[in-house]
């Protein structure tokens, strides 16, 4: 898009995978889903992603995903959950209502294996809570994992590094 006053052209260099994540969470919001974002709440990409969300919770790893899925299935101490995730939830977040329909997205630099495992945990939680025939009404995911990150992950694991 040209800027005639300064004779410059602005070029959007946003990574297509990051744009895909933003489109995914936008779709979640349009479908009335809460976005579950696998990422780090203070990472600049995640901060940008949540700007597209009304309702979200950010989980950093499988331990945090397990905390949320346990709450979905069994309920629990709402105040403790909100306190733990205080920096990683949307304003006014209510886990009793906002975790009934969720969609998964991720910070593109997170590892594919962990994102997949987190997705499976949320899908299983929804099956337990609502039954297998209703899971698609309560859980949604798109593949938003960056190919370059996965190449790096495969390379690292080929040298015996643990991910």
Diameter of the chain by CA atoms?
A: 60
* Beta pairing partners, 58: 37
Dist. CA 59–CA 116, nearest whole Å: 13
Q: Cβ(1)–Cβ(12) under 8 Å?
A: no
Dist. CA 116–CA 125, nearest whole Å: 14
Dist. CA 157–CA 37, nearest whole Å: 24
Indicate which residues carry an active-site annotation. 45
Q: Supply φ then ψ for residue 101, to 5 degrees.
A: -140, 115
């Amino acid at each position: 898009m040209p800027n005639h006053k300064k004779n410059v052209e602005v070029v959007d260099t946003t990574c297509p995978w990051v744009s895909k994540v933003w489109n995914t969470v936008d779709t979640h919001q349009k479908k009335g889903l809460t976005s579950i974002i696998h990422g780090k709440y203070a990472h600049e990409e995640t901060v940008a992603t949540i700007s597209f969300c009304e309702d979200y919770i950010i989980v950093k790893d499988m331990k945090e995903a397990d905390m949320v899925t346990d709450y979905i299935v069994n309920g629990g101490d709402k105040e403790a959950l909100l306190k733990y995730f205080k920096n990683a939830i949307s304003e006014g977040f209510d886990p009793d209502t906002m975790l009934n329909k969720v969609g998964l997205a991720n910070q593109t630099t997170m590892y594919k294996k962990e994102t997949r495992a987190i997705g499976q945990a949320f899908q299983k939680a929804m099956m337990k809570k609502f039954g297998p025939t209703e899971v698609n009404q309560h859980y949604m995911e798109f593949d938003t994992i960056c190919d370059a990150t996965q190449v790096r992950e495969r390379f690292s694991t080929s040298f015996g590094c643990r991910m």
